Amino acid sequence: MLRHMLIARGIDEEAGLLENHGALDLWLSCRGQEAAQVGSAMAIGDEAVIFPSYREHAVAVVRGIDAVSLTAQWAGRTFCGWNPRVHRFFPYTLVLAAQALHAVGYAIGQGLQNTAETVVVYVGDGATSEGDMSEALNLAAVESARVLFICQNNGWAISKPSHEQMLTSIADRANGFGIRSWSMSADDPDSTLLGCLEARRYVETSASPGLIELRTTRIGGHTTTDPHATYREPGELAAAIANDPVVKYRERLVAAGVVDDEWLGAVDADVAKARQELLRAFAP
Ligand SMILES: Cc1ncc(C[n+]2csc(CCOP(=O)(O)OP(=O)(O)O)c2C)c(N)n1
Ligand SMILES: [Mg+2]
């Protein structure tokens, strides 16, 4: 998991720099959300079909999508740089929560064909305010669709804080539709993996939908064009940086003797290679 997190971090940083140089049109950073994304992606495994939002770069890394394929759409070269069938990872969706309906429709279709495929959909906290999300939750509940909704609550919908978006939690709202839910802090990939594993097992054994809210942190701006320091409290931003899940996990595994300099050096070389590939493909 640390390897996936470090590779995602490297791709994310390089893509942000490329956007600053005008080589990409836009970039939406996943900085700070790597533990939520890698922990959940490892829990749902290789077989589940994933309907992502637009910020799930670390999930894409877990699914074996390379740096250039992941970034090509943001350079305007393609609508989707990877083969969704091969990676079982559908194209990014920028229309908020539309992918929730795609996922439920897909799961209902799969159910009719009697396959045991589990469908996973990633949404943000802001996206849960969309009508599509309510329709998707209700339809999934009444049709017993095998969909695991993973909501990354990163505290913000652009500049709107989560606590101003809703009076109840996302997890509570899912219960209102008759869907079992969980809510957990997702700054650590190990506990995130265990929490998501429980949610996945519930969906698979009960053949009904579930929703897990992963409370995470957006360290960067909403996009590369978002001056987020203008609306975030300096203390909140400083705490987010100090709580960086990639740095924390790396330190923890080093201290526990799980990884050593040799292992980290090999991963750093892979990160450098991915960054070089991005530069070769997109640098102006
Ligand atoms: C249907 C729709 N309405 C509005 C937007 C504009 N928009 C893009 S991202 C965003 C905020 C989304 O926040 P959240 O769901 O929490 O995801 P995050 O960006 O934090 O990962 C908004 C309002 C959009 N893309 N689609
Ligand atoms: Mg958000």
**pLDDT in single tens digits along all 284 residues of the chain:** 999 999 999 999 999 999 999 999 999 999 999 999 999 999 999 999 999 999 999 999 999 999 999 999 999 999 999 999 999 999 999 999 999 999 999 999 988 887 778 999 999 999 999 999 999 999 999 999 999 999 999 999 999 999 999 999 999 999 999 999 999 999 999 999 999 999 999 999 999 999 999 999 999 999 999 999 999 999 999 999 999 999 999 999 999 999 999 999 999 999 999 999 999 999 98
94 lines ligand 1 (CB under 6 A): yes
Assess contact for 165 and 129: CB atoms under 8 A.
yes
170 lines ligand 1 (CB under 6 A): no
Q: Quote the pLDDT of residue 114.
A: 78
Q: Quote the pLDDT of residue 117.
A: 87
Distance from Cα 97 to the centre of ligand 1, integer Å: 9
Encoded amino acid at 209, one letter:
P
Please choose from 57, 96, 166 the residue to mutate so as to test ligand 1's pocket, defined by most ligand atoms within 8 A of CB: 96
126 lines ligand 1 (CB under 6 A): yes
Helix residue ranges, H only, the chain:
2-20, 34-44, 57-62, 67-71, 84-87, 98-112, 131-142, 162-165, 170-176, 189-206, 234-242, 245-255, 261-282
189 lines ligand 1 (CB under 6 A): no
95 lines ligand 1 (CB under 6 A): yes
Distance from Cα 250 to the centre of ligand 2, integer Å: 25
Handedness of CA 63, 153, 133, 204 (dihedral sign): positive
156 lines ligand 1 (CB under 6 A): yes
Looking at residue 75, the DSSP 8-state letter turns out to be: G
Q: Quote the pLDDT of residue 113.
A: 83
Of ligand 1's listed atoms, the one at least distance from the Cα of 98 is 1
Q: How far apart are CA 64 and CA 66, in angstroms?
A: 6
Q: Quote the pLDDT of residue 197.
A: 98
User: Cα(first)–Cα(last) distance of the chain, in Å?
Assistant: 33
Q: Which position has the token pair 């490297």?
A: 10
Q: How far apart are CA 272 and CA 68, in angstroms?
A: 13
Which ligand neighbours the alpha carbon of 225 most closely?
Answer: 1
43 lines ligand 1 (CB under 6 A): no
Distance from Cα 269 to the centre of ligand 2, integer Å: 32
Distance from Cα 34 to the centre of ligand 1, integer Å: 19
Of ligand 1's listed atoms, the one at least distance from the Cα of 218 is 20
Of ligand 1's listed atoms, the one at least distance from the Cα of 222 is 19
Distance from Cα 154 to the centre of ligand 2, integer Å: 5
Q: How far apart are CA 236 and CA 202, in angstroms?
A: 35
Assess contact for 191 and 197: CB atoms under 8 A.
no
Distance from Cα 197 to the centre of ligand 1, integer Å: 27
161 lines ligand 1 (CB under 6 A): no
